[in-house]
Amino acid sequence: MAYSLTNGILKVDIADVGEYSGTRFDWTGFITGVTLLQGQHTFGVPESLVPGQGSGGMGFCNEFGISRAIGYEEAAVGEWFPKLGVGLLQKVSDAPYDFFGSYPLIPFEVKEERSAVSVTYTVQPMECRGYSMLLSKTILLQQDRLNIHYTLENKGDKPLHTEEYIHNFVGINGANVGPDYELRIPAGLRVEDPESSYTAELLAVSGNTLSWRAEPDRSFYCKLAGQEQGEADCFWELRYSPGGVAVKESGDFTAERMALWGEKHVISPEVFADISILPRHSKHWSRSFQFFNF
């Protein structure tokens, strides 16, 4: 069963480890929803509103290795490769890694420590063809912020090259996507490589603000430029005007890249952190989400 963290300002709902049992998203800290208690404003929606569709994502859940699956290319069919936050996955064919696919799985062992306002997960290493990783993740509420701290230690003999992002399945107060939403980027906003003319025509850019010309009737996707944090206080900020409420994400790292995905009910700004760790070294990075009225 899910449980909640709360500090009187935010309430954060988190699924138990294994409640999400797919092979895409990190099983630890699978945040299904966030509520800003003053006004009871809700964030976080399912990836798909149609049962059985999508890959089971919800709320603020993260994924490692969507485009750089650790050890996959060098593995033979039938061999195993590690998916951070999930477990060892088995390569079933010579086809490229498919983040949307389902793979045979040996889950990692996870230790967990909870308090009223925080939870820490420690994902135990499991050796796999020279790869071995110790992942620690802490979720902590501080005022109107949801902070996530990561430490990844390379305990194997091979270097790690992958990436991490939070999918951010956002739908504020359950409102559909449309002209009532604005996505703000600190500087230099540009829409790049829209997946279709539909996306290009749906999205409007004015200065450093992106908006939607209409309510979408299909999915949209593009890359975004201008997310480099630098001196800015966030990577992105999403505002919903009728509720006078917003969420913004910041971090202590330089974004490797940023993408935007969504459908009629959901907006997903995605900020990617690069992960390159030599054997016997570690990497630390943090994300912070602020939920507030404007």
pLDDT in tens, 83-111: 999 999 999 999 999 999 999 999 999 99
Instruction: State CA 125 to chain mean position distance.
Output: 22
User: Quick count: other Cβ atoms within 10 Å of Cβ 244?
Assistant: 12
55 Rama class: left (phi>0) / alpha (psi -120 to 50) / beta: alpha
Structure tokens at 17: 């480890």
Residue in the structure block whose two tokens are 């919800």: 58
State the Cα–Cα distance between residues 127 and 114, nearest whole angstrom: 27
CA 84-88-90 angle, to 5 degrees, is 130
H or E element, residue 269: strand 266-277
pTM value > 0.85 = yes
CA distance 259 to 212: 16
pLDDT tens per residue across span 244-289: 999 999 999 999 999 999 999 999 999 999 999 999 999 999 999 9
Dihedral sign (CA 126, 151, 102, 93): negative
The amino acid at 192: E
Alpha-carbon dihedral sign for residues 199, 202, 207, 209? negative
* Predicted local confidence at residue 1, as pLDDT: 64
Single out the residue of 241, 238, 268, 274 nearest to residue 255, CA to CA: 274
pLDDT tens digits for 166-198? Answer: 999 999 999 999 999 999 999 889 999 999 999
Report which of 251, 246, 261, 252 is spatially closest to residue 216, judged by C-alpha positions: 261
What's the CA gap between 42 and 174, in Å, rounded?
7
